[in-house]
Chain A
Amino acid sequence: MKPRLQSFNHRASAYERPAQNWVCGRAIAGRPCALGPDRQGTCRTLAECRPKRGQSGWVCTRPKSAGGACEQGPFADGTCCRELPPCIPVRSLRSRRGHFTAFTTLVCLGLLILLVGSRINTDLIDAGTVNTGHAEVEACGDCHTAFDGGPVGWLKAAFADADPVADNEKCLACHKWGADASNAHTLPRPKLADLIGKFEQAAADAPVPWTIGVSRTVFPTPLEAHNGPLACGACHKEHEGEDSDLVEVTNARCQSCHQLTFPSFSDGHPSFGDYPYLRRTRVIFDHDSHNRKNFPEKKKQGVKPPETCDSCHAPDATGRFMLTADFADTCALCHAEDIIGETVAGPKGTPVIAVPELDLITLAERGIAIGEWPETPLAIDVSPYTKLLIAADPVIAEDLQTIELTDLQDLTEASDAELQSVARIAWSIKELMFDLTISGMGVLETQVEASLDSALDTDTVGRLVGHIPQDVIAAAGAVWFPNLKQEVVAYREAKGDATVTPGIQGDDADDDLSNDQSSGTTQPDAQVVLAQSGTIEVQSLPPADPAAENDALGLPTLDPEEWAKAGGWYRKDYILYYRPVGHEDVVLRTWLDISAQSFGTPAERYGDALFQLLADKNTPGKCTKCHSIDQQPGGALAINWGTFQPTVGESQFTSFVHSTHFSAVGDDGCIACHRLNEDTNYLKFFEQRDPHQFVANFGPMKREVCADCHVEQSAGDACTQCHQYHIGEFAIEGIPPTRIDDLDKTRPEGQPADAGEEEASLDANPIDADVAETAESEVAAEQSGLIPDLLSGPEEAATTAGDADGAAAGQSPSPSGG
């Protein structure tokens, strides 16, 4: 049987003091003294007991636990007979633990001071790897304003009431979010306030999910979320690894600000409204009528119309937008001939310069002198182009207004003022022809600029006139007004205009203007009758006969319009036409653009007529049959020459990526989402010019279609899957400005600027090497004066020798200097 070791008898058991810091040094050997060390760890035991005086002298007091009173007893002087050598007290376990704790705490403190206060603190306090998109960030100070203050500065910054958006500037140095970057949604304050107002109104009676309600009650959304400025860090969390999602944000966080709240996308998200059709299409294309009517008809005619949506539409590089293919790949199949006028009933070209038909008889009877004027077989009026070209003169502009309602073919009832106006207009047309022939396109530029009160550059003028040759103008002038030069010179001299035109003076008036003898139409000078009053009487000319012209040239008769089938300029009767050369005809486009821009300005009175002519759906080119016209603020018109193209740098609130949904729509394809609109008034809304008044060909997107997949458990229903936070147009980072000169810095050190190229080229081509060798020997011979300059004269030879000397004298020691 095992003996019992421990006694709890208070006489036999020692009193243990584990909480004390020191224990007897003999305890480890199993013989601790009963008293133990003092608080300072000093042994205070000199003997086994402290004798006390009894009735018969000193008595041993050794405790029973230590063996009880000794036999010998104390000495006579009262000291214990059993002396103990002093021990070396040791620390108790508890004390050692306390010391170890204090030691490790001090070590930690020292390490912190050493590390945070040392140069390696940057590495130590690095909060972790940044996203790969921020890999170029090298130092903490690149993003954190407080970093440069050092440890003391950090301490101050931690307790200071710092600007919460101070670090935004660091972010915005690279992320060009514009002037309103720190506002919610990067929107300007007024617009933001407007949106907030609208949403608050819409959400007035909308139920709020209880979680959001509680959150708003317990933790009201910070005011800065609405009123800004917001710190970038409020949403973007960095230092969460290379592959961290910096734009991750929970739905609940979005709804902390948004007044209109709902539990999930499938439960309560507002309907999409008219999305994605926020304006009418830029190019007028009625999917419905084409599908129902045009395509079947074309099919019967043997033309193969598009059968699938991707015949005309393809995703852009981002996969986000479905763009429309070019005209040549789509519409041209059926509509190419429309543009070049093949399907137009009247003239295939647009009448640019025309000689209007005038009531010559009445003019003659009323003594109105306009000189020679052809008897035009057609009831031609002053063309809008012509009006624009002659209206630069304020008097003529006034005249054009005067005769606005006058029938030029019957002037019998015209007033004298109207007749005078007709006369001045007739002369201005002659002057225009004359000036165009003599001075070229500069005249046209001046006239158009003056009429429209806007500056034109040379390219625009070139596009306006379709680079028309001078001969075309000159020939037209010669046929229409055989003595144009003499008439205009005489007219201008008669009305006291000294500067007839540059280079042409009265003495030269006998010269033939046209230089084109091929017209065969010669009219004697006698037919120019100068009235004493300085005016020129009316002299009617027989109608022009193209056949006669061609006969004179020995050419077969050919309809000029047919001749210009491929487009370009042609003259027919008394009109100079321009026939479109095909889609994207720059001439018609430029005339349309400048006339459209005249709307809302004083020039509209000329631009309007021209625009109406060109925008007529039956005019050659038929541009506006497909290209819609938008009215802009201020009244100017804008023609949508292209289909929708995404704006680079534009960030919209809603972002839908078509390409990622291709696999999701199944066999239904595009019609899984795009269903024809029941309202078929698509074309009607293009008769007006507000792009936002429209009926789309397709019905708006239905939330339910998206919600089939976009639930949390399936395709996800995070707000940020479809919505972008930063809205607006933002600058795209351009190519860094690199000087071409700096390319030299990339050359290996010590290599001359051109040595490498020469050596490389010589190595590459042995023939070049021979030539170079010859050239080198020639230069050497030249410098030595062995080769006289056989090609140049003595003076040049001397100069060359001088240059050579000079070159030799100034030759650089560097090989490149030769």
Chain B
Amino acid sequence: MTTFGQRRLRNWAITGMMAGLIVAIELLYDMSLRDAAFLNGWILFAGMVLLAIFNLRKKLNILPLVRMSTWLQLHIYTGLVCLLLFLLHTDFSLPNGPFEIILWILYMTMTISGLVGVALSRFLPHRISARGERVIFERIPVLRAQIARDIEDLAMTSVKETRASTIADFYVQELAPYLRRPKHLIGHLIGGTRPERRLHVAIRELERYLDERGRQILVEIDHLVSAKADLDYQYAMQLTLKSWLFFHLPLNYGLMLFTLVHIVLVYAFATGAP
């Protein structure tokens, strides 16, 4: 059984060797009075195709084409090798031409979005586990609605059993809007809890106006509000994990299109590079 550490070491070692091999080939090719940009350009393009195939592989999950986790590792480390190739191809500098600048920005954005995605998939699962109940993303609306119904029921119960509308009024004014949709997503992403605490303080301030039964109901409501906050937290984290692909995937296809045009232009205007 390969541990995570061993796997990471192995993958980095392979990536390092690939990078070294590429740099060596680049130097040897340059020595032969050829334009190394053509060689590393084609290797880079092949790498890009390999990276793009990963998304296709995800769609073909029925076929036994190696495990997805292996594909993911291959995708990540190939992306790193391609970054090196890209930097070699662009001579570690921003190009001058408008078209090539667009291409450069596309590629770098694509790469950064990929690296961000890797970082998110490394760090967010820990944060997801650190708070509340881990729930399936698609179930979150159902669970939020359930919590909202439960709180609404408690509010109605409080009116009936305490003959006071204190909790019900609070529900209508504060809780109902809070329960209607996910709230404070950015706050959750950055680890903020101020809105949640403010709501809990407001709930506790109601205690002085309630009898014993009312306070019991208020405690239940407080727990449900915490559960809603946890749901929002989960929603924020999981939505982020899913949303970065909204940058990464569209960039991929745009980049491929621009790359094809770039290849045509380079060969059309290549001034006799052997």
Interface pick from A101-109, A624-632, A710-718: A101-109
Query: Contact at A159–B267, with CB atoms within 8 Å?
Result: yes
Q: Does B112 count as interface, using CB distance less than 8 angstroms?
A: no
In the complex, the number of residue pairs spanning A and B with C-beta atoms less than 8 Å apart equals: 198
Q: Is the interface of B mostly helix, strand, loop or mixed?
A: helix
One of A120-128, A193-201, A321-329, A359-367 at the interface: A120-128
The residue on A at minimum CB distance from B226 is A2
Which residues of B in the span 217-273 have a Cβ within 8 Å of any Cβ on A?
A: 223-224, 226-227, 230-231, 242, 245-246, 249-254, 257-258, 261, 263-273
CB distance from B231 to the nearest CB of A (A): 7
**Residues in B whose Cβ lies below 8 Å from that of A212:** 31
Question: B143's closest neighbor in chain A, by CB?
Answer: A5
Residue of B nearest to A17 (CB): B138
Among the stretches B90-98, B118-126, B160-168, the one at the interface with A is B90-98
Interface size on A, residues (CB 8 A): 78
Q: Which one of A97, A216, A255 contacts B245 once the chains associate, using CB atoms below 8 Å?
A: A97
B27 within 8 A of A: yes
Q: With contacts A6-B133, A127-B269, A221-B33 known, is A18 near B254, CB below 8 A?
A: no
Chain B residue numbers with a CB within 8 Å of A219 are 28-29, 31-32, 34
B144 contacts the other chain (Cβ, under 8 Å)?
A: yes
B135-159: CB near A (< 8 Å → 1, else 0) gives 1111101111111101000000000
Whether A764 is near chain B, meaning CB under 8 Å from some CB there, is no
B12 at the interface (CB under 8 A from A): no
Query: Min CB distance, B184 to chain A, in Å?
Result: 18
- Taken together as a complex, chains A and B put the C-alpha atoms of A164 and B25 apart, in Å, by 24
A108-B258, A159-B267, A231-B274 are known contacts. Are A5 and B133 too (CB-CB below 8 A)? yes
- Across the interface, A166 reaches (CB within 8 A) one of B31, B148, B253, B272, namely B272
Chain B positions within 8 Å of A126 at CB level: 97-99
Q: Which residue of B lies closest to A231 (CB)?
A: B272
Across-interface contacts of B25 in A (CB, < 8 A): 218
**A 207-231 contacts with B by CB, 8 A:** 211-212, 214-216, 218-222, 224-225, 230-231
List, in ascending order, chain B residues with CB within 8 A of A252's CB. 27, 30-31
Shortest Cβ distance from residue A460 to the other chain B in the assembled complex, whole angstroms: 51
A5 touches B227 (CB 8 A): yes
Q: Are B273 and A6 in contact (CB under 8 A)?
A: no
Pairwise interchain contact A30-B274, C-beta atoms closer than 8 A: no
The reply to whether B272 and A233 contact each other, CB–CB distance below 8 Å, is yes
A70 sits at the interface (CB 8 A): no
Q: Do A5 and B146 have beta carbons less than 8 Å apart? A: yes
- With a cutoff of 8 Å between Cβ atoms, the chain B residues found around residue A2 in the complex are 132-133, 223, 226-227, 230
Q: Evaluate contact between A211 and B27: CB separation under 8 angstroms.
A: yes
CB <8 Å contact, A158 and B263: yes
Q: Is the CB of B145 within 8 A of A30?
A: yes
Total B residues in contact with A, Cβ cutoff 8 Å: 63
B28 x A214 contact (CB < 8 A): yes
Task: Please name the residue on chain A nearest to B29 by beta carbon.
Answer: A219
**A140 x B269 contact (CB < 8 A):** yes
Are A101 and B267 in contact, with the CB atoms below 8 A?
Answer: no
A2-B226, A6-B136, A253-B33 known; A125+B265 contact, CB < 8 A = yes
Residues of A within 8 A of B245 (CB): 97
One of B29, B253, B268 near A101 (C-beta < 8 A): B253
Partner of B273, one of A108, A216, A218, A233: A233
A100 touches B246 (CB 8 A): yes
> CA A155 – CA B267 in complex, angstroms?
9
15 further A-B pairs in the complex, CB-CB below 8 A; given A5-B227, A97-B245: A1-B223, A6-B133, A29-B145, A101-B252, A108-B253, A108-B257, A108-B258, A116-B261, A127-B265, A154-B269, A215-B31, A215-B32, A221-B32, A225-B274, A253-B31
Residue numbers of B with Cβ under 8 A of A are 25, 27-35, 91, 95-100, 132-133, 135-139, 141-148, 150, 223-224, 226-227, 230-231, 242, 245-246, 249-254, 257-258, 261, 263-274
8 shortest interchain CB distances as A-B pairs: A30-B145, A128-B96, A231-B272, A233-B271, A104-B250, A164-B272, A158-B267, A219-B32
Q: Which residues of A contact B (CB under 8 A)?
A: 1-6, 14, 16, 18, 23, 27-32, 93, 97, 100-101, 103-105, 107-109, 112, 116, 123-129, 140, 143-144, 146-147, 153-155, 157-159, 164-168, 211-212, 214-216, 218-222, 224-225, 230-234, 238-241, 250, 252-253, 255-257
